Structure 1
């Protein structure tokens, strides 16, 4: 039988007399949606191995166990034994170094063969009653670090952290030409391009978008830049650099040439966050694939 996610904690004197509901909401930071799911969808609350309701008044020394309900899996998401380059894993999260040319989640065009299909297979091999919760997404042709929550409770934490800008990501891109400034911020609103369901563009009525960049290496007709996003709009990096006249190499959707590389030269090389359960800082780096390294040579990620 597949194992649902559970939490087990010993109650300290500071929570003596607190209602179980308040402890779960304030101390364990369960969302009200999660608490409702536990109450009504085959989840369980135990205190000292006895089932209790959320109205139970805690005592110091009590052992609280929260059994989350098994998570439903979309019928369109099928487990597949897809190789995953996992660089970090614990009971709450996965960090994957995604290669180019593979989508993160299924779509009408790519119903199978995605990272999500591979992650679901990986979870099933561990006999976990979990499903796939992507925290950040990368375009099909963008490579690099991808954060995936293994259960709904972790996903709630990560989504909140992302909204509060507590998950930090940096990218490497190879762009056409030489930029005017070594460091700058591209501040230009982004919206959907009229007549297209895929393309985005800079437009006055778009959503605010800010991209910080730093030049790392210059070459005869292209430049390697390190990028930090302040916002996370669809295709933000690609749109912003195209907007200032320096599209990414390989990005033919936004004006880049495919002479040297057959996909947008974009790689998520750094991911950093405070782990919501261990409260320890986590920082991961991933070297770009060979198609980018063949353009720019050796890169010391620690010095960027």
Structure 2
């Protein structure tokens, strides 16, 4: 099934005689990838006439853009509870529960966030294709940003890569951290082909985590960890490298009788709205299994 996304734009006087592609990049922030997709499977109309993007515009011209994409036929809607932290016509932020995969994989064919969102939007009479802008592991709970069209996805992804938005996590780590705050700068490398596990290695990608201690328990520490880079398992690998693996992390530490997953929750998310330019800052309190670790 094909989904269409329509954008309109009135050409500014200062853009008189510019190419359509230049105007789309400058005024709508369209990336090269989005422009290429528009060339291949979309259409551009100038004052109602179908045109090529290499053609020029005049001030006051009306541009109508249609982006088309195919929705996965194999994805089935499944009605499940959803915690929507923020939503508008351009994007949605979901507070993902732990133990939920974002998108179907060989090991998880249904019961995913994508299945739940498809049912949610079909119930409102809307088509939907899931476009996560970043990742959350299956066992990690918290805020996940999802674009509603490829143009917005491209702009948010660019913000992510340039460090214009911030993700911070709550984590409970093993042992007591003596310092009030710190930074962990250690490159991260995949263990081997086919494995999701990571290790600290000089051959890895640069990775930087900033952290501050929020409270101390008998043999644990609650920290706020902010990602400067976004490597797979970064917070988990970095704290294990310090000798303080996350509580319940069976990959980089040991299992816990108190929580059935790593104690990691994506609590804070701040980004610049890709269309309106305003700063959006969100907070999601930790779920019950995480909060239970904080009870004296």
Q: TM-score range by the shorter chain?
A: over 0.9
Deviations 1:228-268 (A, max 9, x none): 01111111111111121111111122113412111111000
Deviations 1:205-237 (A, max 9, x none): 222211111000001111100000111111111
The answer to whether 1:4 aligns with 2:28 is no
Deviations 1:164-203 (A, max 9, x none): 0112100000111101211111122211235871321212
Q: In structure 2, how many angstroms separate the alpha carbons of the residues matched to 1:192 and 1:35?
A: 33
Query: Aligned to 2:178, what secondary structure does the other structure show?
Result: coil
Residue 64 of structure 2 is matched in structure 1 by 65
Taking a change above 3 Å as real, the CA distance of residues 35 and 194 of structure 1, as seen in their structure-2 partners, is closer
Residue 204 of structure 1 is matched in structure 2 by 202
Q: CA deviation at 1:297?
A: 4.4
Q: CA deviation at 1:293?
A: 1.3
Taking a change above 3 Å as real, the CA distance of residues 204 and 83 of structure 1, as seen in their structure-2 partners, is same
Alignment of 1:183-262 (within 5 A): 183-194=181-192, 197-262=195-260
The runs of 5 or more residues in structure 2 that have no matched partner are none
TM-score (normalised: structure 2): 0.92
Q: In structure 1, how many angstroms separate the alpha carbons of the residues matched to 2:186 and 2:17?
A: 53
Residue 39 of structure 2 is matched in structure 1 by 39
Taking a change above 3 Å as real, the CA distance of residues 196 and 130 of structure 1, as seen in their structure-2 partners, is closer
Taking a change above 3 Å as real, the CA distance of residues 191 and 3 of structure 1, as seen in their structure-2 partners, is closer
Q: CA deviation at 1:50?
A: 3.1
Query: Aligned to 2:222, what secondary structure does the other structure show?
Result: strand
Q: CA deviation at 1:61?
A: 2.0
Q: In structure 2, how many angstroms separate the alpha carbons of the residues matched to 1:107 and 1:40?
A: 28
Deviations 1:101-123 (A, max 9, x none): 11112111111111122223334
Q: In structure 1, how many angstroms separate the alpha carbons of the residues matched to 2:173 and 2:265?
A: 12
Q: In structure 2, how many angstroms separate the alpha carbons of the residues matched to 1:214 and 1:40?
A: 47
Query: How many equivalent pairs are there?
Result: 296
Q: In structure 1, how many angstroms separate the alpha carbons of the residues matched to 2:197 and 2:64?
A: 48
2:277 pairs, out of 269, 276, 279, with 279
Deviations 1:137-187 (A, max 9, x none): 111111000001111111111111111011210000011110121111112
Q: In structure 2, how many angstroms separate the alpha carbons of the residues matched to 1:173 and 1:93?
A: 27
1:170 pairs, out of 168, 171, 187, with 168
The runs of 5 or more residues in structure 1 that have no matched partner are 299-304
Q: In structure 1, how many angstroms separate the alpha carbons of the residues matched to 2:65 and 2:125?
A: 19
Q: In structure 1, how many angstroms separate the alpha carbons of the residues matched to 2:109 and 2:131?
A: 17
Q: In structure 1, how many angstroms separate the alpha carbons of the residues matched to 2:190 and 2:54?
A: 48
Query: Aligned to 2:226, what secondary structure does the other structure show?
Result: strand
Q: RMSD of the alignment, in Å?
A: 2.1
Query: Aligned to 1:216, what secondary structure does the other structure show?
Result: strand
